Structures are given as C-alpha cells and as structure tokens.
Amino acid sequence: MSAAGGKPHVLLLRPVDAAFAAALRDRYRVLDLYAPGQTLPVLAFVAAAAAVPEPPRATVIWAGVRVDASFLDAAPSLRCVVSTAAGLDHIDLAECARRGVAVANSGEVYSTDVADHAVGLLLDVLRRVSASEQYVRRGSWPAQGDYPLGSKLGGKRVGIIGLGNIGSRIAKRLQAFGCIIHYNSRKPKDSVSYKYFPNAHDLAAESDVLVVACALNKATQHIVNKDVLEALGKDGVVVNIGRGANIDEEELVIALREGKIAGAGLDVFEHEPKVPAELFSMDNVVLSPHVAVFTEESRSDLCLHTIGNLEAFFSGQPLLTPVHADSLVQ
C-alpha cells in the first residue's frame, strides 16, 4: 500500500471489472480490497490503508460493505463515501454526517433497468412465462396438452410502495400496459395523479399487484407483513425489487404455500444469497439473484458516474448525487 506518484489514494472496497479498474487507476492510486493476493478482512484492510502516507480521503463501496462507526474509526482520514448501490441501508448516514463525511450513491444509474426488471417479473408471474417454458422443456406439452392459462396484465390495479426514481418509472411503464396505479410513500406527491394510500395495508386491499420499490429502513422493514399479504388476497401478486427485508419472507412463504396470494416475482431476499428452499418448487414464483440493476449499459454508466462523484469531491465541487439521512425515506 505504498504511495506512488501525485494521484490521491482511493480505497476500493468492491469488485470491479477490468475497464472500471483501469479507469480508476488512470486517475487515482487505488487501494483494492479485491486485489490478487490480498487476504485481509475489510476492517483490517481499511485500517492498513489509513496508515499509508497521504491516506485515502475517499472510498468506493458497494452494498456488501457496512459503513458505520467501526468502519469510520478504522479510516479517520475518509471524507467521502461513494456507494455504487442505489439503496442506503448499509450506510449509517447520521454517523457520516456527524463526522463530516460526505456520501454519494448511484443516483438514477440503475433506475431504468430496475423498472424494466420489475415489469418483466410481473409479466412472467402473470403470464407464467418461466413455468410454461419449463413445461415445454420437460416434454410435457405433447403428453399433457395445453398449459394452464395465465392472467392479463392490462387493467390490473397496481400498488407501488415507494414512488421514488424507480417506483415512478415502474408506474409509467405499467400505465402504458393499461394498469391502474396506486401508491404508498412517506407523503403524497403533488406531481402525480395516482391515488395515494397512507399505509401498505390499505394499498394492498385496493390492489391486484403489490410492487415493493422503497428503500429499507426501520419504517419499511417488513412493511409487507402477514396483514398486508392477507389484504392483498388470494388473487394478488407481489413483486419485490427493493430490499429483501422489506417483506417478511417467512410470512410470504406461508402465504404462497397456503394459497393466500397467487404468486410472487422476487429479485431480492431477506438473507441473501440464501433463498427459502420452499420457493424453488413453486411454479407461481419467479426468482432472480438480485440482478435487476445489472446490464452492460448500467455497468458502463456506473463507472462514469462513480468517477464523476470522485472527481467532484477531489476538486471541491458538489457531489453529483449526494445523500443524507432523510434520503432513506420515499
């Protein structure tokens, strides 16, 4: 971790592809947690980085790194945290603010891709795309005849929990399909004409589909619980592209198993990468491994966006996408 050249140190605490790594190294002296041969755990690596001459004032992290008091104690030189995630539940924003550490996230880099993925999951669940594809692959079509009918998307009442950057894009896409949009957020939004519901239970009771697109915080952990699922009802579908813990996963499994809801499309899980085994055998459930954000285009955009935030910080300019404590609520 020795210093070299006139470039500032940047602490890199997430795996990146070769192009991303090269772009960072063109501009900074990168201290890479994932460098070949590096075996230190995160906090030990951060502490070692803090001991180099001209220690790093900025770090690039992902959702797999928790930035809290212990982390900041290990790196007292840090004044900027750039997260490549959109969610902020892995960062103690209040503690960062107390210590004068600026925080930026990925902003809207992923928003379009996540919205597309949410619609894809919903279409898959309703039209049973994945399940019918497996029916064909198993050779069941000639033997058992036509596959059972799916359900139409157009006309569905879709309740969106969290009408932020992603939730708004989901709403616009589903409106184009002829869906009726309702939503729940911290407060009503004057910019939209969708019907507002002050809580998730009432939203679910008036919806055929519930889409979870909110941030994860104390107020939204298990915002979709047993009561909400029961309010959604036996013909209802849940889609989650927020955070796994936005849904009480144990109650979701029970609701699916007992037919209390009709199906689910899930990109996130409460204890990733562990997924409840019961879901694997349910053909009314579509699963993806937390990939809604990932496309080739978003990876390229993320690199440019991350470097833009770093360059703004080192030049004393405002961050491109600064976040603060109330950013956790939508």
Divide the 330 residues of the chain into consecutive groups of 10 and give the mean pLDDT of each group.
Answer: 69 96 97 96 97 96 95 97 93 96 96 98 98 97 96 98 97 98 96 97 98 95 98 98 97 98 98 97 97 94 97 98 71
Distance CA 168, CA 171 (A): 5
Active site residue 272: yes
Does the fold of domain 111-287 match that of domain 9-109+296-328? yes
pLDDT of 178: 98
Q: How far lies 79's CA from each of 8, 86, 97, 101, 321, in Å?
A: 13, 20, 10, 4, 15
Active site residue 290: yes
Say which of 27, 222, 290, 299 is annotated catalytic: 290
Count of Cβ atoms closer than 10 Å to residue 110 Cβ: 26
Q: Domain spans of the chain?
A: 9-109+296-328, 111-287
pLDDT of 4: 47
b/e per residue, 11-23, with b = 16+ CB within 10 A?
Answer: bbbbebeeebbeb
Active site residue 29: no
The size of the chain, in residues, is: 330
Task: Name the superfamily (CATH) of residues 111-287.
Answer: NAD(P)-binding Rossmann-like Domain (3.40.50.720)
Kind plus residue range of the DSSP H or E element containing 158: strand 157-161
**DSSP 8-state code for residue 125:** H
179 contacts 156 by C-beta, under 8 angstroms: yes
What sign for the dihedral angle of Cα 32, 38, 41, 43?
negative
CATH number, domain 9-109+296-328, options 3.40.47.10, 3.30.420.80, 3.40.50.720, 3.30.200.190: 3.40.50.720
Distance CA 211, CA 158 (A): 7
Tokens of 71: 């982390």
pLDDT of 3: 43
pTM above 0.75, yes or no: yes
Say which of 14, 128, 243, 305 is annotated catalytic: 243
